[in-house]
Amino acid sequence: MNDIEEIVRSYISELRRGTLILCVLSRLDEPKYGYSLVQELEEKGIPIDAGTLYPLLRRLEKQNLLSSIWELTDSRPRRYYFLSDTGKAVYSRLCAEWHSMVSSMNKMIS
């Protein structure tokens, strides 16, 4: 019984991991700093560890999907991330792929 739980949990986390990039890209058409994104995703029912999101944001920036600037808000410096042009192009491609995948998947499992 525990085995099944374990297996299910590991596959769910695998499914989530695949959608994470899409979640992040979808939220960054306007600049946001890391922790506000954590909170926003949590509100929308996609909880993610800050310790996972922050490195992910850096990696996306390294791939030129995101740009970032340090800005002072509430007298604190924070790094704001936002979609670059490449990021926008990649995001719309991924969205199209997502929609077709969802409709095929629905046909299969419903």
Partner 1 sequence: MELIDRYIYAVIKRIPQKQRADIEKEIRTLIEDMLYASCGENIPSSADYENVLKELGNPAELAAKYNDKKNYLIGPEYYDTYLTILKIVLPCVIFGSVVVAFLEILANTPETFGSAFGDVVGAICSGAFQGFTWVTVIFALNERFLNIKALDAKKNWSVSDLPEIPKKEAIIKPVDPILGIVFSALFSIFFIFENHLIGIYNFSESKLISIIPLFSPEGIRRVIPWVVVIFIMLLMKEGIKLFTGRWNITVCAVAIITNIISLILSVLILKNNTIWNQSFLSELEAAGIGVSIQNINTAEIWNGVTKGLVYIIVFGYIIDSVVFLYRGIRYAR
Question: Using CB under 8 A as the criterion, which residues of the chain lie in contact with partner 1 when the complex forms?
Answer: 33-36, 39, 49-52, 54-56, 58-59, 70, 76-79
- Residue type (1 letter), 8: V
> Given the complex with partner 1, which of 67 and 88 has the nearer CB atom?
67
CB of 74 to partner 1, least distance (A): 8
Phi, psi of 81 (to 5 degrees): -105, 145
> Given the complex with partner 1, which of 6 and 55 has the nearer CB atom?
55
Q: Mention every residue, 6+ apart, whose C-beta is less than 8 A from residue 80.
A: 31, 32, 33, 68, 69, 70, 71
Measured distance CA(56)–CA(81) in Å, rounded: 11
**Cβ atoms of 94 and 105 closer than 8 Å:** no
> Given the complex with partner 1, which of 35 and 98 has the nearer CB atom?
35
CB of 61 to partner 1, least distance (A): 11
CB of 67 to partner 1, least distance (A): 15
